[in-house]
Amino acid sequence: MATAGFIYPDHAAEDDYPLAERLLGDGVRLPVAHIYGTDLHAVAELLDLGSPARLAEGAGLLAEHQPDAVVWACTSGSFVYGWDGAAEQVAGLAEAAGGLPASSTSFAFVRAAAALGLRRVAVAASYPDDVASLFVEFLAKGGVDVVSMSAADIDTAAEVGHLAPEAVADLVVSRDHPDAEALLVPDTAMRTLGLIDDLERRLGKPVLTANQVTVWEGLRLAGASRPVPGLGALFSARGV
């Protein structure tokens, strides 16, 4: 049994993780531990949300599940630190988890893009523009060129979590760009796993979403990567 554990901020779209666990089938567990802070999409609040003390708390909550790897399941609460700061954040998380392999959603996006050979992407962000711009900078550090970025200017994760599936699909599809090889959707507060296959059919290109790449990264670190129907190109043989 492989276990990838996830530290998730507050409550919004964490039901994407049991959905992924069901799609993955036997032999994989995806426990989620919640930490709490403000859900505001603002730099100062996001820096606090991803602080060493909060992530250490999450690692402690996951310990009872005996995970093989841990992932900070928050994009904005990792890229807001910048590339080097996010790397230090992950190193601290690994230490707090007793030396387990660790990562975050921001690094998961970069590694997922590399796995699919993607270099030019569009970003459909739910955040305000100043926060979304920091994600673009982070991707650039990882060798991913953002040819188009749109920010929906939604202030809180709770608001994102309440978006209806149709609203999520419309937000994503309307932000595509003809020069992009894929579309990235960076908020773990947005329910997307049940929509990915349909979005990829509509756009004719890979769609990488925050909870999708986070699960993929956790499985990769836990040594449990596998092709899975229903989770998009990333979980095809090409992506794993």
User: Is 237 inside a domain boundary?
Assistant: no
Number of separate domains in the chain: 2
In tens, the pLDDT along 198-213 reads 999 999 999 999 999 9
Residues 75, 78, 80: CA angle, nearest 5 degrees: 100
- What are 155-176's pLDDT values in tens digits? 565 677 667 878 888 888 888 9
pLDDT of res. 37: 80
Residue 52 lies in a domain: yes
pTM listed for this prediction? 0.95
Can you give the CATH number for the domain in which 185 is found?
3.40.50.12500
Domain membership flag for residue 239 = no
Q: Domain of 155? A: 112-210
The pLDDT tens digits for 3-62 are: 999 999 988 889 999 999 999 999 999 999 999 887 667 788 888 889 999 999 999 999
In this structure, are 175 and 216 located in the same domain?
no
Query: Is the predicted pLDDT of residue 131 greater than 60, yes or no?
Result: yes
* DSSP output for 79-100: HTTHHHHHHHHHHHHHHHTTS-
pLDDT of the residue at 156 = 62
